[in-house]
Structure 1
Amino acid sequence: MVLVDALLIGVAVVGLWVGADQFVAGAARTARRLGVPGLVVGLTVVAFGTSAPEFVVTVDAALVGRADVSVANVVGSNVLNLGFILGGVALVQALATTRTLVRRDATLLVGSTALLLGFVADGRLGRIEGAVLFASLLAYLGYLVRAGNGGSAADGEGSFHWPDIGRLVGGLAVVIGAGHLLVASAVDIAGSVGVSEWVIGLTVVAAGTSLPEFATSLAAARRGRTGISTGNLLGSCIFNVLGVLGLAAVVRPLPVGSSGVEGTAWLLGTVVLVAVVAHTESVVSRVEGALLVALNAANWLLNLA
């Protein structure tokens, strides 16, 4: 059964990747055809699209009473995004940052992660706390939209292109189905091999749901657009903390064990380190990337021990 569940996880991961890619493509093209500014498309559609696997898996796990998987998926995905992915891409090519990215987005990520740690310190993430997180995301997106109003809108045709609508709806359906399959299979493996659901969520599930961020960041770095890599990962992490966990807690309050509190504290430390290295010389260097990868690897080893 473990082998079957492992194969199902592989199928689910491929489904998450393909589904998220189709969802982002369809949604972005539809938004542009309707004349939505490119900046707004990038900050909303793409951010949600790359976080769609985390969103679906986390909410699905909350609905079926697997709170450890819910919290571990978000914490693990963010640590993975900032450790293995951001650090790994920086090892290949130093990543440029901007003053706005550091002052606005990195600061918000530090603040939102600290807020999350404060909320879960009592062993529970309640509906009101989830609503506060989700409302903070809406306020952030509203600020970004207002800040982007000075830019020019895309030359939209003002009509839907039905193949793009099909990609949007079909991609989201695949993500939802694959997310449910990933949660079910990961929980079965945890029960079969005696590993906690927290560890499975922090490693296997988090790695699977972080594939869209990995693909987007690596593609951007290969094209020399390293600023997009950094911005995509920071934006996705903000969306995960405020949007994904916030909405999951609104749907169903989440009990958080000691591992969850400790994992969130580790995440806060990682976020602060990323904010610091992004600020130094406006670049994440190869050495700093290696440090982030090493810390992420240490975190996995400590949890698997």
Structure 2
Amino acid sequence: MIQTGQAVQVGIVVVSVAGLWIGARLLVDSVVRLARRVGLSELTIGLTVVAAGTSTPELVVTADAALVGLGDIAVGNVVGSNIYNLAFILGVVSLLRVVPIERSLVHRDGVALLVSTFLGVYAISDSVVTRGEGAVLVGLFVAYIAFLLRSGITDEMSADADAPPGVTTTVTERIQFRGRDVVLLVAGLAIVLISGDLMVGSASELARGAGVSEWVIGGTIVAAGTSTPEFAVSLVAMRRGRLGVSVGNVVGSNVFNLLVIMGVGAVIRPLSLSGSIGLSLTWLVAVSVAVVAALWTGRRLSRAEGGLFAGSEVIRWVVGLLGLG
């Protein structure tokens, strides 16, 4: 009976991985077409719509944890996911393909990433994230998104002005195209989120069956599991040459996690922390600064840099699993 149950869980994991890949392909393709039609760059769409959508698992986990007073899980989920996004996901993408970076991602969104990271760490540093701090974080995100959408439209209009005239579409054609791609975007996002949830649940059951403790499950499978949508979307976008979506998704998700998810969690209920968080916060700041510095100096992420970032995440996991930090 146990073997049958384990086989079922393995099957669910396999199906979930396939679902993640299919959903991510639908999401990326529809986002790229939609971006062209609504006058936003792929990078802006990746930083906003895709980033917010793929961060839904973190939002659900953090909100649930906040409601029952589990501040350590709520904040730990955000911090762990952000480190995983920057170090492992961006690292793996860079290992597979050298990633050139748009200037705006470095100067505008790199700064936003650092500001949100430092503000988030400051709010966490006294072991309590208050409702007031949460409201400020959410307000800052609203201002950032307003600026981002405005600059994204401006950038795309400038690009259109430089393009040769001749190819136009009617209003009806544009609306039909948008409607179809909105449906595909929602369908792709739903498949990614459901598949990610199924994978986390089945992997957790397999770990419990193997005698792995709940703490280890929470610190590894859940932290990485809530980031499976970001991983799938970034990987598919990279393979399809949509690097704006791939990198924008990671950077945007991190800003969204720190400002919105942690902010909303604190507004629901002040987040009190009891565990030792110093090493994790230090690691988050170090990885964020290192990634932005690498982008600033070379405006690209090389395979060597990607290997270093991914390797640092493996080391972090080993340190955590062995109880060294």
Tell me the TM-score range normalised by the shorter chain.
0.7 to 0.9
2:115 to 91, 111, 117: 111
Distance change in 2, residues 1:169/1:85 (3 Å): closer
Letter matched to residue 275 of structure 1: V
Match in the other structure for 2:163 = none
Match of 2:39? 37
The residue number in structure 1 matching 2:235 is 218
Aligned pairs (5 A) from 1:178-197: 195=213, 197=215
Asked if the contact 1:127–1:251 (Cα under 8 Å) also holds between the matched residues in 2, the reply is yes
* Contact 2:28-2:237 within 8 A present in 1 as well: no
Deviations 1:232-283 (A, max 9, x none): 2111111111111111111122112343343122111110111111122211
What is the identity percentage for the equivalent residue pairs of Structure 1 and Structure 2? Answer: 38
Shift of 1:61: 2.4
State whether residues 94 and 286 of structure 1, in contact with CA within 8 Å, keep that contact through their aligned partners in structure 2: yes
Q: Which of 53, 57, 61 is the aligned partner of 1:53?
A: 57
Alignment of 1:153-232 (within 5 A): 156-157=174-175, 168=186, 175=193, 195=213, 197=215, 199-232=216-249
CA distance in structure 2 between the partners assigned to 1:186 and 1:43 by the alignment? 30
Q: Distance in 1 between matches of 2:25 and 2:304?
A: 35
Task: State the Cα distance separating 1:200 from its structure 2 match.
Answer: 3.6
Q: 1:29 to 1:149 in 2, by over 3 A?
A: closer
Counterpart residue type for residue 137 of structure 1? F
Segments of structure 2 that go 5 or more residues without pairing to the other structure are 161-168
Residue 83 of structure 1 corresponds to: 87
Root mean square deviation, CA, Å: 4.1
1:108-131 Cα offsets, whole Å, 9 max, x none, are: 111211111111111111111111
Q: Distance in 2 between matches of 1:132 and 1:13?
A: 37
With over 3 angstroms needed to count, the CA separation of the structure-2 counterparts of 1:46 and 1:167, relative to structure 1, is closer
Residues of 2 paired with 1:167 and 1:222: CA distance? 18
Q: Corresponding residue for 1:296?
A: 313
Aligned 8 A contact 1:123 1:256 in 2 = yes
CA contact (8 A) 1:217 1:229 kept: yes
What residue in structure 2 maps to residue 275 of structure 1?
292
What is aligned with 1:92? 96
The DSSP-based 3-state class of the residue aligned with 1:259 is coil
TM-score (normalised: structure 1)? 0.79
Alpha-carbon offset, residue 22 of structure 1: 9.9
Distance 1:253 1:175, change over 3 A: farther
Q: Which amino acid aligns with 1:256?
A: L
Between the aligned partners of 2:201 and 2:129, the Cα distance in structure 1 is 20
Q: Give deviations 1:121-176, integer Å, cap 9, x for gaps.
A: 11111111111111111110010122133335996428995996698489659948
Q: Identify if the C-alpha distance between structure 1 residues 251 and 270 changes in structure 2 by more than 3 Å, giving closer, same or farther.
A: same
Once residues 290 and 132 of structure 2 are traced to their aligned partners in structure 1, the CA distance between those partners, rounded to angstroms, is: 29
Aligned residues, how many?
303
TM-score scaled by length of structure 2 = 0.75
Distance in 1 (CA, whole Å) between partners of 2:30 and 2:269 is 28
Contact 2:46 2:244 in 1 (8 A): no
